[in-house]
Chains A and B, each alone.
Chain A
Amino acid sequence: MALNIECVRKDFPNLSARGRDDKPLIYFDNAATTFKPCQVISQTHNHYCHRTANIHRGVHYLSEVATAEYESARDKVRRFINAKSLSEIIFTKGATESLNLLAQSYGRHFLKPGDEILLSMMEHHANIVPWQMIRDITGCVIKVIPINDKGEIILEEYRRLLSDRTKIVSVVHVSNSLGSVNPVAGMIRDAHAFGAVFVLDSAQGISHEPIDVQSLDVDFCVFSGHKLFGPTGVGVLYGKEDLLELMPPYQGGGDMILSVTFDKTIYNRLPHKFEAGTPNVAGVIGFGTAIDYVNSLGWSDITEYKKELVRYGTGLLQKVEGIRLIGTAANKAPIFSFVLDGIHAHDVGTLIDREGVAIRTGHHCTQPVMKFFGLAATSRASLTFYNTKEELDIFVAALRKVIGVFQ
């Protein structure tokens, strides 16, 4: 059964917000963050109204309820990505923190001078900078996997870069600036052939297609709740249990210990070893509800509909005079990056905002890939399942008006 978009849209109150000058809003900035369905909003609200308590620390009733709900969200995440065990799901504050945790714990502990980390040309700064910080401490080397001018990873080049020196391959699943869906299943197998661990940045991928960490055999996978219709301030690090066991804690504090004396501390078991301090309890519980929501729609309908949006949007945009689409991979998410002849992205962003259309302009935290395309900035419209073809029509008409202003 196809998605009933009208029905789905009713679940997202923010879709009826007004844009600039009280224009009806068209929200095409879903790669930055997604709106939250009322189910998530009321779950979070409910937590703060009726169930506020700290977790893992109380024998009182509310604390037990909050702990159970928090741990139940962990199980929802586990099932959502088909992880083997709850020990493998670590809550963080976002994809960025998950990557920093990996770099600081796994990277700092295991990397030696001369070891290599492979990153692709299209990585988000969150998947570059933490590794550079570790490179500067450990003396390892970062190598860049090239892409072609459609924005696809060049697999032959990737395989050529792999060697016994490769210890970590960290690659974006779906590019936030190009929309490319990378062929990660094969890339993971290739990395494993050289004994490297594979880190998957699914910040965008998590809302694009189902992820099965066991069938992918991926070693680590990171994502953020707020890009999957959940609250901000919640993220996940998935890691294979045996790897997580070998890793030292990332931060010290409460909850991550079993016992503390001034001489010696015994760390807690997984996953708590990596969750120091009071986490974002309401956020995690709300995130669990966001996962329920996505499951209730069903992946096959979501992916079908998104393909349709990619096809329709690409068709419309290609007809705009003076446009250059940046990122034209064969396998694409509905993320449209583009530049217009002689018009700077920021002017596009401001002028189209006057028509009520919210898009993102700039380098999208992916400066190296911008440089690869010889650009400082692009305009980016990123859609998700609550967006419609009618919205795409209005967006493209507004784009033509913007071009008109500069003629």
Chain B
Amino acid sequence: MTVHNDELYQQVILEHNKRPKNFLKLDSWTHSAEGYNPLCGDHLNVYLRVSPQGVIEEVSFEGDGCAISKASGSMMTVALKGKTVDQARALFNEFHRLLTKELDPEKDQNILGKLNVFSGIWKYPSRVKCAVLAWRTMKGALDQEKTVATE
């Protein structure tokens, strides 16, 4: 299959799908939430251990999902570790703007770094929910929501 640059299934994503980072349940956490996508039945849990100073010391996820939601979750945990809660929220907002095409990585300065590979999702609007699931769940955990649905 030819791989285009706007391709959603880039090597980074396939790698994270195959060997997701931080794909486990933490021994102890301060925040957690359960997220699901009613459309496809995808389902995951996100765990965060946040220090009293508001720094994300550990973050992990586990569950069932497609390559996109798994890779997105994996890359999210990598991106968030060591960040403050405020930085995590900012990253969430920016990632969300990327998925909804409000932010164009070709033109707009942004803090997303590797997460920009998800701009390939623009061609597949029905898959945006897969990419956002872990992030919405993470934000839900920070906001003390117990369950989050992407609808």
Contacts from A to B (Cβ < 8 Å): 20, 343-347, 350-351, 354-355, 361-363, 367, 370, 376-377, 401-402, 404-406
B45 to chain A, nearest CB (A): 15
Given known contacts A362-B40, A363-B41, A376-B40, A404 and B1 CB-to-CB distance under 8 angstroms: yes
Asked whether B73 is an interface residue with its Cβ less than 8 Å from the other chain, the reply is no
In B37-59, which residues have CB < 8 Å from any A CB? 39-43
A-contacting 9-mer, from B26-34, B63-71, B75-83, B90-98: B63-71
Known A362-B40, A370-B41, A405-B9; contact A346-B14, beta-carbon cutoff 8 A: no
Residue of A nearest to B41 (CB): A376
Residues of B within 8 A of A354 (CB): 1
What is the interface of chain B, defined by CB distance below 8 A to chain A?
1, 8-9, 14, 17-18, 39-43, 64-68, 123-124, 127, 130
Q: How far is the CA of A85 from the CA of B40 in the complex (A)?
A: 43
CA distance A217 to B67 in the complex (A): 49
Q: How many A-B residue pairs have CB under 8 A?
A: 51
CA distance A363 to B65 in the complex (A): 13
Residues of A within 8 A of B9 (CB): 347, 350-351, 405
Q: B127 to chain A: closest CB distance in Å?
A: 6
The reply to whether B1 and A346 form a contact with Cβ atoms under 8 Å apart is no
B42 to chain A, nearest CB (A): 7
Q: B1 touching A344 by the CB < 8 A rule?
A: no
Contact status of A405 and B1, CB under 8 A, knowing A345-B66, A350-B127: yes
Shortest distance from the beta carbon of A402 to any chain B beta carbon, whole Å: 8
| Docked complex Cα distance between A145 and B64 (Å) | 29
* A367 to B36 Cα, complex, angstroms: 14
B interface, over-half SS: mixed
Given A376-B64, A405-B1, A405-B14, decide whether A350 and B124 contact each other with a Cβ distance below 8 A: yes
Q: Chain A: interface secondary structure?
A: helix
Residue of B14, B41, B42, B65 ringed by the most chain A CB atoms within 10 A:
B41
Given A346-B40, A350-B127, A367-B41, 16 other A-B residues pairs in contact with their CB atoms under 8 A: A344-B42, A344-B65, A344-B66, A345-B40, A345-B66, A346-B127, A346-B130, A361-B40, A362-B39, A363-B41, A376-B40, A376-B42, A377-B41, A401-B1, A404-B1, A406-B67
Q: Which residues of A contact B127 (CB under 8 A)?
A: 346, 350
Listed by A's residue number, 6 A-B pairs whose Cβ atoms lie within 8 Å are: A344-B42, A345-B40, A346-B68, A346-B130, A362-B39, A377-B41
Q: Is the CB of A376 within 8 A of B1?
A: no
Interface pairs A-B: 7 shortest CB-CB: A376-B41, A344-B66, A346-B66, A347-B67, A401-B1, A347-B66, A362-B40
How distant is B8 from chain A, measured CB to nearest CB, in Å? Answer: 7
Q: Are A344 and B41 interface neighbours, CB within 8 A?
A: no
Q: Is the CB of A406 within 8 A of B66?
A: no
Q: Check B43–A344 contact: CB distance below 8 A.
A: no
Q: Which residues of A contact B43 (CB under 8 A)?
A: 376
A41, B9: Cα distance in complex, Å: 38
Q: Which residues of B contact A401 (CB under 8 A)?
A: 1
Docked pose: A78 CA to B24 CA in angstroms: 59
B1 with A347: CB separation less than 8 A: no
